[in-house]
A and B are shown apart, each in its own frame.
Chain A
Amino acid sequence: MVRLITHNLLACHAKDCNTNNFPLEFKDVQLEIREADFNPDFLKGFMPKIEWKALVDTARQLGDTSLPLEQPEMLDDEFLKNLHHVLLEIHVEEGSMTCPNCKHVYPISNGIPNMLLAEHEIG
């Protein structure tokens, strides 16, 4: 299940593609919403590792506008619940992700992103 937390950690790694290679752009996605256990401790611990702008932009593309453009300093419950939903409850089941730089397409099927490259594409 590609969720936005995973998406926020994936960059294109094709040969010689090392600038503007993140975030990958979702295309033709099928979404499913599935509830997950809310864990504020996990979210707070993970927040420093998030690329915030990439997360907010991607969530907006998928129709979720609940996150503020700037990462807030006060982590109240409402914010954490929205963050929880965006990171962990939106599942991309089918579709693909395209590199903004080299346009390499990484397919997603049965919820698993295929990040494998052919031999000649490996950096």
Chain B
Amino acid sequence: MIPTPNLSHLKQSDYDLIYEPAEDTFLLLDALEVDADNLKNSKPRVCLEVGSGSGCVTSFIANILGPSVLYLCTDINPHACQCTLRTGVQNHVDIHVVNGSLDEPFQQRLSRKIDVIIFNPPYVPTSEEEAMIAQSSRNIGGAWAGGSDGMLVTNVLLQRIEALLSPNGRFYLVALKQNDIPKILQTMEQRFQLCGEIVLQRRAGREHLFIIRFLRGNKTLNQ
């Protein structure tokens, strides 16, 4: 059992401003735990979490992979960046946080250098307008509003994954049934030769959640 990160330093006043870990977060933690051995065997050096929110997920994967990995996080919400830092300190994990959108700050320098990318995106179908306003207001609304198919933000990152991943890199994505998972898998395979596999799925209330792991088409899990 990998311990769930200690979040006792985060209060309701923080969760008024940032995403509180929920079923999607916990399913992602469970998927990382399922993959713990092959994650370790892949000997990653650089891990990037996009949209780190509370910092819970990066602190958890750091418990799996240990201190010889560089843990980078981005979030558009400045409060989330502060909380991610505090969660790192609380859990003795050295996290490097940048207030930025998606992979933008690191795109140039970390091209083909990132071994693990993680994204639990704003995936909830909303109006396009609500999602665009949420993105530009950089507040808690940006934690879920995902536009008409819930893919407005995710689609932008999906276009960039291939250019970021190291030869042996992998990408974990949280998605909802309404996001059209067969279509995501097909696009990633046809356009980028990235093969996706569902690691875990779970129904939580009205949400049917999936964790997808993508690898380069010429790689298998145990390589």
A residues touching B (Cβ–Cβ < 8 Å)?
1, 3, 5-6, 8-11, 13, 18, 21-22, 36-37, 39, 41-42, 45-46, 49, 51, 88, 110-117, 119, 122
Contacts and interface: CB of A to CB of B under 8 A. Distances in A.
A115 B85 contact: no
Contacts of A13: 104-105, 107-108
A42 B104 contact: no
8 contacts: A8-B109, A10-B106, A22-B108, A41-B68, A49-B110, A111-B85, A115-B101, A117-B101
Interface of B: 45-46, 67-70, 72, 74, 76, 78, 81-82, 85, 94, 96-101, 104-110, 113, 136, 138
A8 to B, nearest CB: 7
Given A9-B106, A115-B104, 13 more contacts: A3-B96, A6-B98, A11-B105, A11-B109, A13-B105, A13-B107, A42-B68, A49-B46, A49-B113, A112-B81, A112-B98, A114-B78, A119-B136
Nearest to A123: B104
Nearest to B97: A112
Contacts of B101: 115-117
